[in-house]
Chains A and B, each alone.
Chain A
Amino acid sequence: MATMQKIKNHAEELASQIRDGSFKAVDAVESSLDKIQKKNSALNAIISTLNERALDRAQQIDKATTRNGKLFGVPVVVKDNFCVEGSQTTAGSKILKGFVSNYSATVIERLEAQGAVVIAKANMDEFAMGSSNENSAYGAVKNPWNEACVPGGSSGGSAAAVASEMAPIALGTDTGGSIRLPAHYCGVYGLKPTYGRVSRYGIVAFASSLDQAGPMARSVRDLSLAYDSVAGFDHKDSTTYTETAVDTYSKLTSNIKGKRIGVVTSHIENVDQNNKELITKAIDTLKSLGATVVEIDLPYTENSISVYYMIATSEASSNLARYDGIRYGVRAEGATLDELYENSRGLGFGPEVKRRIMLGTYALSSGYYDAYYKKACQVRRLIKNGFQAAFEKCDLIVGPVATSSAFKLTERSQDPLKMYLNDIYTTSINLAGLPALSAPIGIQKDGLPVGLHLIAKAYDEQVLLNVALSLEEALPGFERTAGVRG
């Protein structure tokens, strides 16, 4: 590699310098790929890199005559469940080992239309099923802040890549907390947009009514730029919202005077002491910036884990039926068609995926459908109504992302139920289809970062970004990246 210039800290600055020609996209991309090469053996955040494709694109960008694009020349890491034409897409599963997608996801096309360069595919829990990123067929991802800890899941590779400065921006997906949890554990920003804001076309599905792609970044302004780049109506995804051009970046403001912030005190009481202190401090900061705090009630959210695991596994059991060894992916031979299916799926899927397929298959079975799936859908409606009522009293809700910061690898992986409880604060948001953001608010005594969970009403991502920006500016500075290891 030629120049070894340090990658710029933020996408906003980098894109501006590449646009005006003072910095080269090729250098940015090379620097990023170099960082991956150096750090990935320790972190295992990346499954594959797209060196040739990325460098080709970077060269084109450097030669381009029209030099606009929100992410012009910016290297981006995407979770390995986004299809990128001509590249391997594994979704963290052995069953898709070596599978090369023949098309690109809409969000990939949109990123590229804004000049972004996809440099690598990030590690993840298999089919996005997990909260610790220990369920990957390609090995667990390590937390850049402490390699003995999990980075959170399922977008753990994306979070670790951003936290360790492999790239300023990464894309993840969030079905029950999979962007926010790793953002919290890795000290980066993570936005789960409103369901329908970002096209799901070309993203390997886990649970279709809950899945939503979103960006991760080290600053609110970068987060906003990345979000604006990918959001908006897509005729290829019937569930996208009609608004076409989404522009939060030009409307960013840290003035949050008069914003009403909803808090469920019991949620904050239940978290680990270190987290509680930082969350309380962040809320006090918001008050000092002119926001008011109101106590709210979120009925039925205590059911959200059960409801979530019914709906998510049901949809997953159907979404994952296409991995049958017939057209692509792993095929294990068998004497009969049924054996071929059994052997291929038995070999290709990991234990957590099998567990969820079985749960979902059971919940949808005739005779059980009403008691499980249908009942879960009814409670989902109640949870959604509860949020709607709460948003009559406030403009956004803040609280914890999880009960604690990152935990130790293997600490919970033997107990699926304990692992599922990690998602206690995040799943209700997906069930209600709301936008939510995890914003880093400090480092606890053991050196692990803590995030604040911000939740808004549907399609109001702007307020999340504005409030996150106000905190970013107001909170005492702390090392927001773990890139120190460099």
Chain B
Amino acid sequence: MAKEYTTPEGFEAVIGLEIHAQLLTHSKMFCGCSTEFGKGDNANTCPTCLGMPGALPVLNKKALEFSALIGLGLNCEVRKESVFARKNYFYPDLPKGYQISQFDKPLCENGHLEYLSDGTKKRVRIERAHMEEDAGKSTHHGTYSVVNYNRSSVPLLEIVSGPDMRGPLEAADYARAVRAILVYLDVCDGNLEEGSMRCDCNVSVRRSGEQKLGTKVEIKNINSFRFIEKALQFEIERQVDAVQSGEKIVQETRLYDPDKNRTFTMRTKEEAHDYRYFPEPDLLPVVIDEAFMNEVRAKLPELPLQKAYRFQKEYEIPEYDAFVLTQSRELADYFELVARSTENPKISSNWVMVELLAKLNEQKMGITRSPVPASALAGLINLMQKGVISGRTAKDVFAEMFETGASAEQIIKEKGLAQISGNDEIKKVIQEVFVNSPNQLAQYRSGKDKLFGYFVGQVMKATSGQANPEVTNELLKEMLKGS
């Protein structure tokens, strides 16, 4: 997006997100079935996740641990006693006729998340994060439908933000920040396209200055960060148009269609289910003791925000760089390795942020697949700092490294790219330049200082850019004075 979208003049959008994170446990939430993806239809099922008569749920302790860990990562209070509840509705992919979720006593509450969006620091409240099981998957074939229950009872944590976001980019960046934490914690792979992270957006608009919230609309079926932005943009425009033409916004659930880039009604409030929540009698309240919380706390790694603050302090890099470099654990680790090996964090940060990330983005590669490992980039930076090559040459060498995977030293050697820094060598070149440019020399000596750049250019041309610029400048100044 070239420019951040702005809400039409005189209006404010209010946005809250519900993010479903699929937890990376080996077994399902309430039975021992595998969560492995891509197995044959209904291969990962048992009486419990098929809702057979008489089958009962038993809580997966790992799912609880992962959920508590996310709670801590989002600065939430983790309840000492939380309660599972049944959410009742009929659908073929819901084998029991109810989903086991949490209602009035969720595991995590009252958290917040700070992140950077469009260069500005944002803070969004996390109202709650509750555990629930996934449903199966229905596929429709014209006259009949089939259901695959492999996903039934796979553990999810639903993270509900406060209505704290005001624009589409801010909302998408919030989702990115949540994803970063989930991935840092290694409890969710955060893949929107594959549905291991799902995002529903609640959005309403109101006239600027208005205190009362407008009627909210929920948008489902958004499977990329870009679509969060696009769906919200469409929806804000739609709602503002409606308000301006005097229409009433209907409380409803809408679906986003990325092909048409629009949202359309899925069901209105009148058609909404009465879920008849009540405490799940088959499961006891989840009681968490200090020992368990200590175990979880011990597993909490340094999170993006803390890392960003540390980078700013320890490496004295700008806030923006610190936030970008801590987007993923792997990128942060990469940068730290380069910074430590070069002992020059600022240059390291520039190289990682500008050269490396640009190339990676161009190739749509993640940092883990970078053809230039951190040690190799550090090697290149060190050669540049020692003056073996110039900054300009370094960029070419880097491009070569990225393409071939060879080391900087190898490339410099093979291509003879090492910088010429020897005084005698450069003096010889300058003398040749003087011989070939008698007119310019005379003009310079008669006061035309501007021609200095011309001589630098000629030296560089003669050495194919390998002459050390500092040494060249110094010698030129001296020799142009003439004797």
Q: Give the interface of A toward B (CB within 8 A).
A: 81-83, 89, 91, 96, 99, 101-103, 105, 200-205, 207-209, 235-239, 314-315, 317-318, 320-324, 326-328, 337, 341, 361, 364-366, 369, 373
Contacts and interface: CB of A to CB of B under 8 A. Distances in A.
Interface residues of B, number: 28
A89 B52 CA distance: 11
A96 B278 CA distance: 26
A118 to B, nearest CB: 15
Given A83-B53, A101-B53, A205-B54, A321 B97 contact: yes
Contact of B278 (A202, A204, A321, A364): A364
A322 B97 contact: yes
B97 A204 contact: no
Contacts of B92: 324, 326, 337
Contacts of B57: 238
Given A235-B58, A321-B97, A327 B51 contact: yes
Contact of A327 (B86, B90, B95, B284): B95
Interface in B439-467: none
B44 to A, nearest CB: 15
Given A238-B59, A322-B97, A208 B54 contact: no
Given A96-B53, A204-B54, A326 B147 contact: yes
A83 B278 contact: no
B56 A238 contact: yes
Given A238-B59, A321-B90, 20 more contacts: A83-B54, A96-B53, A103-B47, A103-B52, A200-B282, A202-B47, A205-B54, A237-B58, A238-B282, A317-B276, A318-B98, A318-B278, A320-B97, A321-B96, A323-B53, A324-B90, A326-B147, A361-B276, A364-B88, A365-B274
A237 B98 contact: no
Contacts of B51: 322, 327
B50 interface: yes
A238 B274 contact: no
B250 interface: no
B53 A322 contact: yes
B98 A238 contact: no
Nearest to A196: B284
Nearest to B149: A327
B276 A102 contact: no
A323 B58 CA distance: 21
A17 B147 CA distance: 52
Contacts of A83: 52-54
A369 B57 CA distance: 24
B38 interface: no
Given A321-B90, A364-B88, A99 B53 contact: yes
Contacts of A328: 52
B276 A105 contact: no
A201 B95 contact: no
Contacts of B284: 238-239
Given A91-B53, A203-B54, A322-B53, A366 B95 contact: no
Q: Which of B54, B59, B86, B282 has the most CB of A within 10 A?
A: B54
B283 interface: yes
Contacts of B97: 318, 320-322, 324
Q: Which of B55, B56, B90, B274 has the most CB of A within 10 A?
A: B56
A318 B88 contact: yes
A334 B281 CA distance: 33
A196 to B, nearest CB: 10
Nearest to A82: B54
Contact of A238 (B54, B55, B58, B276): B58
B276 A364 contact: yes
A369 B277 CA distance: 9
B53 A236 contact: no
Nearest to A361: B276
Nearest to B31: A236
A105 B54 contact: yes
Nearest to B92: A326
A96 B52 CA distance: 11
Given A83-B53, A203-B54, A321-B90, A238 B283 contact: yes
Q: Which of A81, A235, A318, A341 has the most CB of B within 10 A?
A: A318
A103 B86 CA distance: 24
Interface string B269-299: 0000010111001111000000000000000
A67 B281 CA distance: 39
B59 to A, nearest CB: 7
Contacts of A201: 54-56
Nearest to A202: B54
A299 to B, nearest CB: 25
B98 A209 contact: no
A236 B54 contact: no
21 contacts: A89-B53, A202-B47, A209-B281, A237-B58, A238-B57, A238-B58, A238-B283, A318-B97, A318-B276, A321-B98, A322-B53, A322-B95, A322-B97, A323-B53, A324-B90, A341-B90, A364-B276, A364-B277, A365-B274, A365-B276, A366-B276
A373 B57 CA distance: 23
Interface in B76-97: 86, 88, 90, 92, 95-97
Contacts of B274: 365-366
Given A326-B147, A366-B276, A102 B52 contact: yes
Interface in B90-117: 90, 92, 95-98
A265 B117 CA distance: 74
Contacts of B277: 364, 369
Contacts of B58: 235-238
Contacts of A89: 53-54
Nearest to B274: A366
A325 to B, nearest CB: 10
B280 to A, nearest CB: 8
A328 B95 CA distance: 11
